[in-house]
Amino acid sequence: MGHAFRRASAWMRAGVAGLIEPLLVIGAVMISTSAIAQPFYVPSGSMEPSLAIGDYLMVTKYSYGYSRYSVPFDLAPASDKRLFERLPDRGDVAVFRVPSHPKVNYIKRVIGLPGDRIRMQGGHLVINDRQLPLVADGESMVEFGDGHEAPVARYRETLPGGVEHAVYKMRWDGPLDDTPEFTVPPGHLFMMGDNRDDSLDSRVAARDGGVGFVPVENLVGKARWVLGSYDYLNMGLPANWITALRTERTFARIE
């Protein structure tokens, strides 16, 4: 009886040891992979036309260095400095944690760096007293939350430094088309959506339910590519599920 018990115990120990090694390997791979890059899903239209609802993105975490929000499970300590820190460039599309709700990820475009002075004037973006040019670029059909579609004007905007990107503009007298001037504090960023009339971003203070200035610490990473995209809003019947795949967006570079 004792010999049988010892043999069973030995088999159990061998079995546990055999499981621990592959689990450790899997855990190490998962942690190292998520520390380098991570996929994210786009649930809203605030970054249209650059990003579509249903896009699945690859975000590189090494692009801006590391903080507690760019390492697995938020395990790093809070700090206003990042390990291997590099500030984003104006025009980068970045994932960050919302300052007022740090468990929530948002994705917006970096518009302002520390020290920049930013305001909206008549629907036009003004950075450091320079109104950025908007060049008409046709229009697109956009589906709204209530299900109806309407054409929306598309423009090309060029940021200081030369980054050019697309924006949607539906009106010029909206609640965020004329703002006071914001001066970006040290260690913070000013983030905006490309869908200018349908984006809750740094133009609205956190105390008013918006994003406000985003601490550099809150950066998760830089959005690089669209891995795939699925138009779930219009998938309808099962017969349409295959056609809801946006194959033309697969591996598209984010600009």
The set of catalytic residues is 46, 108
Contact criterion met (CB below 8 Å) for 37 and 60? yes
Contact criterion met (CB below 8 Å) for 143 and 44? no
Strands 219-229 and 214-215: unpaired
Spatial neighbors of 57 by CB under 8 A, at least 6 apart, are 39, 40, 41, 42, 51, 95, 107, 223, 224, 225, 226, 227, 254
- DSSP-assigned letter for residue 99: T
